Amino acid sequence: MKKYLYLICFLFAGYGANAAAGDTTWVQANMDTLSWYGNYDKTVTFPTGGSYRNVYMIFTLGKYVCPGSPTYCGDWDYTVTNFLMTPGGDSLELSRLITPYANAGAPRTPWAWKQRYVYDVTDYASKLQGPATIRINYSGYSGGFTGDIRFAFVEGMPDRAVTGINRIYRGSYGYGGATSINTKFPVVNLTAPAGTESAELKFNITGHGSDDSGCCEFYSKNYTVALNNNPIATKAIWRDNCGVNDLYPQSGTWVYDRANWCPGAKVDPIYHNLPGVSAGSPFNVRVVFDSFISHGGGLGSYSTEAHVIYHGPFNKLRDASVEDIIAPTLDENHFRANPICSTPTITVKNRGGSVVNLLTFEYGVEGGTMQTHTWSGLLRPLDMTDVVLPDMAELHTLAGDTAARSFIVRIKTVNGAEDADSSNNYMRSRFRPSPKWDSVFRIQFKTNTATYAGFSESSWKIYNSSNTVVKQRTNLAGNTLYLDTVTLAPGCYRFEINDLGCDGLNWWAGVKSGYCLVKKLDNNSNLPMNGYTTSGTYGHDFGCGFTQYFYTGIPTVTAVTELEDMQVSMDVFPNPATNLVNVEFAGMRQVSGTVNIIDIMGRVVRTTACNDSHIEISTSDLSAGVYTVLFAGKDGKKLQARLVVVR
């Protein structure tokens, strides 16, 4: 998902992040209202001739208000497949995505919501010439989504020439029935075209529908690629990271892992190198699925398309590129990783024919002081890697500012020398700084009802900028409140909530009752966290985990308790109080008893029944002075705290 998103910079900034003005030709294709299952075609004219370093297809998914009274939009997980059809008869799948569960009442998908999906279609540049038709095949049985497709042709020399493309399989086939799915995938005999130095099988496959065992959508099965009748690779048809989707929370069962797709995400094609294939060599290739007999209750299927793509030699030996800025950025496809206050993260690729061992970068906030960093490692031809750049002090000073800034990064040298192609060395992103928190705050953490091996599936940790854990709550009891006051030295931190069940602290279709609130000490207000919803249907729904970066300055609150291994405790706040006091209990599975407020003479001036981990008690009619708050539990447990009331 991270490979080619720098084209988003074109959309937001109005110019190419990796090319000078005028180097990119844009072609607008489809602008469709997707109202029902079927094909949506658009005739376009692509540029002819020329040389393009990259060709990108940007699919923008949006929403519209469906007609009817009442209106109905089935904003569910539908397959969207995009095809190129040329007058010469070529018909090739360019990309595939799955729409999200996108009810307009969900926090991230209001009616004005847009999501961009960027695909590198450079291998199809020779087909994307002159007149052609772009087809959106929409599998939804109701409306609600819009589809916009644009192409960006970036001038320059490609990494390798494409010498040919063979489409060898296409279709959606039942799996586990009386006739084996393998009959639909026969041996294909081919000959590599002139100029070929390498070949690969590109396989798009997603599983849909299910029998009683969950196959195909919710059941992992394998396929094997055979070259010249010998198996060369076996691959599970499975996506195991739906719960870390950057588009969250969604209004359906988005956290469930599925057969090579997740709601609201691109379908990433699977590539298999075909070793030994070169110009003029005959060979055969086949895809073979695991044997399987349906368990009844229906029949699932796999939707497939396979291309054999042939490449010539590398056009450059030494060429590295900045492919993406993961952080800092406003790119919605990196929502979970932002905003940051410390170490930027970028993605780089080796686009040349020789191994890259050394890269020197220059980076910083635009208009500020640039920093340099030298990365060392092993980057083989066409490999990519994420590079975490050293701490940026300027991100500390900007923390708490709400104005958007620009981050820039540039490759200065490759293997100690000048890059053969510098046009892809630069990238720019827009970002907003991280929030600034008080150095002392309260974490109110209620575990949900699910447990693993006797402990809650949920926990939290705080890391400093060196990635060292400085505070944590782990190995917790289920369905229990934990209350911690945390004191931190000035610096940048990362607050992480982890959930082993990948269904958040509270999820409408699964676990219940958990929540996490980070509160200011002076007024007990919630500190906002990026993308974290604290109430309503989608409250505390974040899938596998949640991350919040923040910066703390000079301590503003003193005389508080550091995090400790709390068992059972009671906390009263604010303290001193004026009109209202909060009483919170931590470490109790079930709170049941009475809270008494006792004055300095030993008289009970307020009695409140307590059957929850948090209650509010009015102090507006109490005289100024010192009081004792006493909890008497029905199980005989007693807790007390001192309270000061001021006027």
Question: If you average pLDDT over every residue of the chain, what do you get?
Answer: 91
- Domain 1-158 and domain 159-315, same fold? Reply is yes
Question: What average pLDDT score do residues 537-558 get?
Answer: 85
- Please classify residue 627 by burial: count the beta carbons closer than 10 Å to its beta carbon, then call 0-12 exposed, 13-18 middle and 19+ buried: buried
- Rounded Cα gap, residues 441 and 548, in angstroms: 14
CATH number of 326-431: 2.60.40.10
For the entire predicted model, the pTM comes to: 0.85
Handedness of CA 551, 554, 556, 562 (dihedral sign): positive
CATH class of the region 569-645: mainly beta
Q: For the chain, report the end-to-end CA distance as a whole number of angstroms.
A: 57
pLDDT of residue 12: 38
> Does domain 1-158 correspond to CATH entry 3.40.50.2000?
no
pLDDT of residue 554: 66
| Residue 21's pLDDT band (cuts 50, 70, 90) | very low
pLDDT of residue 164: 97
φ/ψ region of 2 (left if φ > 0, alpha if ψ in -120 to 50, else beta) reads alpha
Question: What average pLDDT score do residues 375-401 get?
Answer: 95
Residues 430-483: pLDDT tens digits?
Answer: 999 999 999 999 999 999 989 888 899 999 999 999 999 999 999 999 998 898
pLDDT of residue 66: 85
Percent of the chain clearing pLDDT 70 (strictly above): 94
pLDDT of residue 647: 85
Q: What 3-state DSSP class applies to 243?
A: helix
| Residue 567's pLDDT band (cuts 50, 70, 90) | low
Question: What average pLDDT score do residues 375-393 get?
Answer: 96
| Residue 398's pLDDT band (cuts 50, 70, 90) | very high
Decide if pLDDT at 5 tops 60.
Answer: no
- Rounded Cα gap, residues 309 and 274, in angstroms: 10
> Does domain 436-552 correspond to CATH entry 2.60.60?
yes
Question: What average pLDDT score do residues 68-96 get?
Answer: 89
Residues 39-59: pLDDT tens digits?
Answer: 999 999 999 988 999 999 999
Choose the weakest-confidence range: 98-107, 346-355, 482-491, 566-575.
566-575
Choose the weakest-confidence range: 8-17, 442-451, 608-617.
8-17
Handedness of CA 276, 278, 280, 286 (dihedral sign): positive
Decide if pLDDT at 93 tops 80.
Answer: yes
Per-domain boundaries in the chain = 1-158, 159-315, 326-431, 436-552, 569-645
Question: What average pLDDT score do residues 489-493 get?
Answer: 95
Strands (E), 22-177: 24-34, 38-46, 52-63, 79-85, 91-98, 114-120, 130-138, 145-155, 160-174
Assign domain 159-315 one CATH number from 3.40.50.720, 2.40.50.140, 2.60.120.230, 2.160.20.80. 2.60.120.230
Which amino acid does the sequence have at 443?
Answer: I
Residues 265-303: pLDDT tens digits?
Answer: 999 999 999 999 999 999 999 999 999 999 988 899 999
Shortest CA distance to 645 belongs to which of 614, 593, 605? 605
| Residue 356's pLDDT band (cuts 50, 70, 90) | very high
Q: What 3-state DSSP class applies to 365?
A: strand
Decide if pLDDT at 644 tops 80.
Answer: yes
pLDDT of residue 337: 96
Residue that has been written with the tokens 């590129």 in this structure: 321
